[in-house]
C-alpha cells in the first residue's frame, strides 16, 4: 500500500546499537514511567494480561521443580512480581535486570507487600548486559519470563546462565515464538521504544545451549485459553473421542508462536524430603499396648522403612528434616494434642536415610495424663508435610496411664 510504514527488521535493530546502548534504552523505558501502579499490581495489572502471565508462570514453576530454600535467579526480573511470589514460596531469589529503575520498583513492591512469614531476603542484581556478577555454579534454578526475547546478545547470555547454574540445575523460560518480531505489538514496541522484540528460534537456542554446558531440552505443551465444550462433548473428550481434536487443534495453534522450554544442566539431583512427593514410610511401633503410671515416660521401639523414592534429610537440615512424629487422642477419638512429639531417626544429626533403608530406634514419649489414649505415629518432614497426606500408613498403639 502506498505510504505504508516499513516494518522493522529486528536483526537490523539489534545490529544498529551496542549491548550497552540496548541496556540504556531498557532503562529509559522504566525511568520515564510517571506511574508505577500498573507494574506494582502485576500479575494483576490488567485482566487482559493476567491469564497469560499467570499460566506462563505456573507452567514454568512446575517444570522447575522448586522447593523452599532453593536459590533461584530470575533473569530479566523487571519489576519483580514473579520474584516476590518465588520469595513467598520460600526460595532465595536473585532478581537480575539491566534497569536500575525496574529493580527499584521491585524493591518498592517488596516494601509494600512483604512476603508473609520467615522468608529469605531477596537480592537485587544489576546486569550490565554481558556478565552476571555471580560465582560459577552458584544458583540451583534460573527462571526467565518473557525477557530472553528482549536480549540483543542471546548467545552470550546463554553462556552466562550456563556458567552460574549448578550441575543438576534447570533453567526455565516462557517466551514467544519464531514470528514474534512480526506481530503488531512487537512492531509497535520496537518503533516507539526501540526495544528488542526478537524471534525465538528454539533450534538456534538449543545449539548454543549445548555449547554453554546444557545437556537436555524439553518444551511444554499447553495453552492459555481453555477449550470450551458442551457436557456431551466433555464426556466424549474424556473417552478420547472426536472432541479431543478441538483441544489439540487449539493447542497447536497457540503454540505456533509460543515457546515455554526448559534447559537441563547435567544429571538432576535425586529428590529429597524438601519435596512432598514420594514421601512414604512403613512404621512398626512396639509394644502395641502398654500401661504406665502417671508421670512416667512411655518407652517404645520403632522400626521405620523409607519406601518412597526421596532421600530423607537429617535433623540438622532444618527444612525437610524427617523425624518420627505422633498425634495423641483420647479413647473417645477426640484430640488430646496434635504433633505431640518428634523423634530423630539417628543419634547422628547429619545422617540421611536413603530410599529402601530401614532404621530401628528406641525412645521415650513424654508422660501423658491419666486415662486411655490412642497414639498415631507418622513420619513428618519439617515445614513440608506429614507423610499421611501422601497416603502413607500410620501406626497406632494404645496406652493406659494409671493414676
Checking 104-112 for CB contacts under 8 A at 24+ apart, the result is 105/30, 105/33, 105/36, 105/39, 105/40, 105/79, 105/80, 106/77, 106/78, 106/79, 106/80, 107/80, 108/36, 108/40, 109/39, 109/40, 109/79, 109/80, 109/81, 109/84, 110/80, 110/84, 112/40
Taking Cα atoms as reference points, which of 183, 190, 199, 161 lies closest to residue 25? Answer: 190
Q: Which CATH architecture has domain 281-402?
A: Sandwich (2.60)
Domain with CATH 3.40.50.150 in the chain: 10-264
Over residues 277-324, the pLDDT tens digits come to 889 999 999 999 999 999 999 999 999 999 999 999 999 999 999 999
Residue 262, classed as helix, strand or coil, is strand
Q: What is the pLDDT of residues 180-231, one digit of tens each?
A: 999 999 999 999 999 999 999 999 999 999 999 999 999 999 999 999 999 9
Residues in the chain: 403
- CA–CA separation, 266 vs 213, rounded Å? 8
Rounded CA gap, 260 and 82, in Å? Answer: 16
According to CATH, where is 2.60.40.10 located in the chain?
Answer: 281-402
Considering the domain 10-264 in this protein, what is its CATH number?
3.40.50.150
Q: With cut-offs at 50, 70 and 90, classify the pLDDT of residue 6.
A: confident
pLDDT of 242 higher than 50: yes
Give pTM, 2 decimals.
0.90
Phi/psi of residue 265, each to 5°? -120, 105
**In the predicted model, what is the mean pLDDT of the chain?**
96
- pLDDT for residue 142: 98
CA distance 175 to 181: 12
- Rounded average pLDDT over 65-72: 94
pLDDT at 1 over 90: no
Cβ(250)–Cβ(223) below 8 Å: yes
Distance CA 132, CA 325 (A): 44
Amino acid at each position: 500500500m502506498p505510504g505504508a510504514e516499513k516494518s522493522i527488521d529486528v536483526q537490523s535493530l539489534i545490529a544498529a546499537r551496542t549491548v550497552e546502548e540496548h541496556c540504556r534504552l531498557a532503562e529509559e523505558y522504566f525511568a520515564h514511567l510517571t506511574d508505577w501502579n500498573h507494574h506494582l499490581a502485576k500479575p494483576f495489572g490488567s485482566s487482559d494480561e493476567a491469564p497469560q502471565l499467570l499460566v506462563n508462570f505456573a507452567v514454568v514453576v512446575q517444570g522447575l521443580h522448586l522447593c523452599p530454600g532453593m536459590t533461584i535467579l530470575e533473569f530479566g526480573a523487571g519489576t519483580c512480581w514473579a520474584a516476590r511470589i518465588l520469595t513467598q514460596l520460600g526460595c532465595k531469589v536473585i532478581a537480575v535486570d539491566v534497569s536500575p529503575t525496574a529493580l527499584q520498583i521491585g524493591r518498592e513492591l517488596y516494601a509494600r507487600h512483604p512476603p508473609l512469614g520467615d522468608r529469605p531476603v531477596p537480592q537485587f542484581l544489576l546486569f550490565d548486559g554481558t556478565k552476571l556478577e555471580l560465582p560459577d555454579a552458584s544458583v540451583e534454578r534460573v527462571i526467565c519470563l518473557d525477557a530472553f526475547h528482549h536480549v540483543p546478545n542471546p548467545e552470550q547470555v546463554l553462556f552466562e546462565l550456563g556458567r552460574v547454574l549448578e550441575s543438576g540445575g534447570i533453567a526455565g523460560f516462557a517466551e514467544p515464538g519464531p514470528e514474534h518480531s512480526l506481530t503488531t505489538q512487537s512492531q509497535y514496541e520496537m518503533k516507539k521504544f526501540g526495544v528488542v522484540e526478537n524471534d525465538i528460534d528454539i533450534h538456534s537456542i538449543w545449539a548454543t545451549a549445548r555449547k554453554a554446558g546444557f545437556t537436555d531440552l524439553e518444551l511444554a505443551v499447553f495453552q492459555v485459553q481453555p477449550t470450551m465444550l458442551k457436557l456431551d462433548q466433555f464426556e466424549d473428550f474424556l473417552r478420547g473421542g472426536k472432541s479431543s481434536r478441538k483441544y489439540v487443534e487449539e493447542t497447536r495453534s497457540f503454540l505456533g508462536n509460543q515457546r515455554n522450554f526448559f534447559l537441563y544442566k547435567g544429571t538432576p539431583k535425586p529428590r529429597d524430603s524438601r519435596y512432598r512427593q514420594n514421601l512414604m514410610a512403613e512404621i512398626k511401633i512396639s509394644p502395641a499396648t502398654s500401661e504406665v503410671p502417671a508421670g512416667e515416660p512411655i518407652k517404645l521401639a520403632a522400626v521405620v522403612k523409607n519406601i518412597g523414592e526421596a532421600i530423607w534429610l537429617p535433623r540438622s537440615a532444618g527444612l525437610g528434616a524427617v523425624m518420627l512424629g505422633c498425634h495423641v487422642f483420647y479413647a473417645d477419638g477426640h484430640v488430646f494434642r496434635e504433633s505431640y512429639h518428634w523423634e530423630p531417626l539417628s543419634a547422628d544429626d547429619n545422617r540421611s536415610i536413603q530410599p529402601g533403608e530401614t532404621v530401628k530406634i528406641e525412645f521415650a514419649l513424654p508422660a501423658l495424663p491419666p486415662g486411655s489414649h490412642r497414639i498415631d505415629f507418622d513420619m513428618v518432614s519439617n515445614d513440608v508435610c506429614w507423610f499421611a497426606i501422601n497416603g502413607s500408613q500410620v501406626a497406632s498403639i494404645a496406652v493406659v496411664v494409671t493414676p
